[in-house]
Amino acid sequence: MRGTDYVLKRVGFAIVTVFVAVTINFVLFRLAPGTAVSNLSRVPHATQQLRHALEVQFGLDKSKWQQYVIYLKQLAHGNLGISYANLRIALINTLPMVTLGTVFAIVFGTFTGVIAAWRRGTKTEGLTVSTALGFYAMPTQWLALMLIIIFAGVLPTGGMTNEFLLAPTFWDHVKDLGSHILLPSLTLGLVLYGEYTLIVRSAMLETLGEDYILTARAKGLKPRTIVRKHALRNAMLPITTLIALSLGYIVAGAILIETVFSWPGIGRAVYEAVLQRDYPMLEGAFLVLTLSVIFFNLVADLLYFRLDPRITE
């Protein structure tokens, strides 16, 4: 029963958090100055009748409570509002690029973190940690520009596809997309991998100092077995938290990277929505990000239950 109570509590907490996030998301953008309709004052041919018609269409002529009820009803039907931008397309464009970079950071960062902890006090640890700190502290836009300078002429440095590639086959399109996605994903992966290296190293060092690790060494177990079956498994709690947070923020995109590489993702769409006061777009993007973070935190909580049964004690 303890396990069932734990799962129900975490799910219930996630549902309440979603409701609170939806409410804050609604209130926050209603407190922001101006609307998308107010920007029409800069358009010479925008009449008062046109602005009023748009206010009615967006529901801006109703009270805040009525707008809130309408907002909840739209969310219940999967409608995030009317916007000038297409959130779905921007999200679809962002997911493969950010996912590729995040997976690279998770795999490479975990590997280097384990090596740094196991080889503590050696030159290998010093080199690994120094490199991780260097990339972690490096400005994202500066690294992106350096990669553009280095790989210019070898790999595409802007956009998502080659617009001059007419009627490509499926494999030609995949190859073209892969060449365009490589540099922005690599930029994101190199910036994130340093964080993983440091967190994994810290968790592994704490685990490697436990008595059961000394017992495993005394039994003559191979170093690979000690690291994989004993140390890494017991160091998974903080690593799971970091992975869950990283996966949750995948849908947020990367504004600086998408701007430098002209990638038509959600990060760039959010930036343009801020300039245009496109609040429905911003509301939708913030809500998708919030739900994603809450979902992956719930997944992490449920994984804790599997990784460490002592949580329910």
pLDDT tens track for 113-127: 888 888 888 888 889
Distance CA 79, CA 4 (A): 33
Given this model, what pLDDT does residue 242 score? 79
Cβ-in-10-Å burial (0-12, 13-18, 19+) of 33 comes to exposed
Phi, psi for residue 152 in degrees, rounded to 5: -60, 130
Given this model, what pLDDT does residue 56 score? 67
Given this model, what pLDDT does residue 213 score? 79
Distance CA 209, CA 201 (A): 12
Which residues in the chain show pLDDT less than 50? none
Which pairs count as long-range contacts for 266-275, CB under 8 Å and 24+ apart, including other chains?
A: 266/87, 266/90, 266/91, 266/93, 266/94, 267/94, 268/90, 269/85, 269/87, 269/90, 272/85, 273/83, 273/85
- Of 240, 234, 250, 253, the closest CA to residue 298 belongs to 240
**Is the distance from CB of 269 to CB of 4 less than 8 angstroms?**
no
- Of 128, 116, 132, 152, the closest CA to residue 231 belongs to 116
Q: How confident is the model over 218-256, as pLDDT tens digits?
A: 888 887 788 777 777 777 777 887 788 777 777 666 778
Q: For the chain, which residues make up each domain, given as ranges?
A: 87-265
Domain 87-265 has CATH 1.10.3720.10: yes
Backbone region of residue 210 per phi and psi (left: phi > 0; alpha: psi in -120 to 50; beta: other values) = beta
Distance CA 95, CA 36 (A): 27
Alpha carbon of residue 285 to chain centroid: 12
Rounded to the nearest 10 degrees, how much is the dihedral formed by the CA atoms of 297, 301, 306, 312? 180
Given this model, what pLDDT does residue 216 score? 80
Distance CA 148, CA 280 (A): 34
For residue 312, give both structure tokens: 């329910």
